Homo-oligomer: A and B are copies of this chain.
């Protein structure tokens, strides 16, 4: 008869798939994706682990659902914002869409890795991609070019890139990398030179300390500009 610690009385109503997925996202946000186990999630919901299987057929399905819900939230948000008509400025329309998706990814830092591990296709993701293709098409790009564009964007279409040298989520200061570069400087002279050159103004900067947002935009605009030019070349020919 006692209420579970993390449960208020009003949430003690019967579970459903939506509440399970919401709780899973919440748990991953708070404690990282490693903490998202069936047993731990059940505990969070004040229920036995096996109860989850009534609402979700297994853990893979849980993760599929989680991804679908997050992309669904992106789609909902996109419906509320004002974007230019693609016929007028498809690059800006595309940019705004992708940056909206990116905000969601930054709120759920674990999501990119989960998304990339999925093998099934999320219906919400299909809807999202349809929206991107619409922009390309109405912007005047051929479907052929739009197809190349989707591949060229890759995960950037969803607002994230994999930073290969990004340190851990809540990383320790990691002074070792400074010392390491020092000792390696004979072996990696160009890398060291580049870092020295970059860190001129911002003294705090080192490997992985870069401004992600700036770099994301640089890469995104590089691709969008390139696509625009290929479109013009095709029109000219």
Q: A35 at interface (Cβ–Cβ under 8 A)?
A: no
Give A159-182 as 1s and 0s: 1 = Cβ < 8 Å from B's Cβ atoms.
001111111100100000100100
A125 x B164 contact (CB < 8 A) = yes
- Given A154-B161, A164-B115, the answer on whether A129 and B191 have CB atoms closer than 8 Å is yes
Supply 5 further A-B pairs (C-beta < 8 A) apart from A130-B191, A226-B226.
A131-B190, A148-B215, A151-B215, A152-B218, A222-B226
B187 x A127 contact (CB < 8 A) = yes
How many residues of chain A get a CB closer than 8 Å to chain B's CBs? 61
B121 x A197 contact (CB < 8 A) = no
Give the residue of B115, B180, B198 whose beta carbon is less than 8 angstroms from that of A144. Answer: B198
Q: A234 at interface (Cβ–Cβ under 8 A)?
A: no
Task: Count this chain's copies in the assembly.
Answer: 2
A224 and B230 CA atoms in complex are apart in Å by 14
- Given A119-B167, A130-B187, A187-B127, the answer on whether A193 and B137 have CB atoms closer than 8 Å is yes
Give the residue of B133, B162, B207 whose beta carbon is less than 8 angstroms from that of A121. Answer: B207
B152 x A222 contact (CB < 8 A) = yes
Q: A9 at interface (Cβ–Cβ under 8 A)?
A: no
Closest 6 CB pairs of A and B: A151-B215, A152-B219, A130-B188, A143-B197, A133-B190, A222-B226
Chain B residue at minimum C-beta to C-beta distance from A200: B144
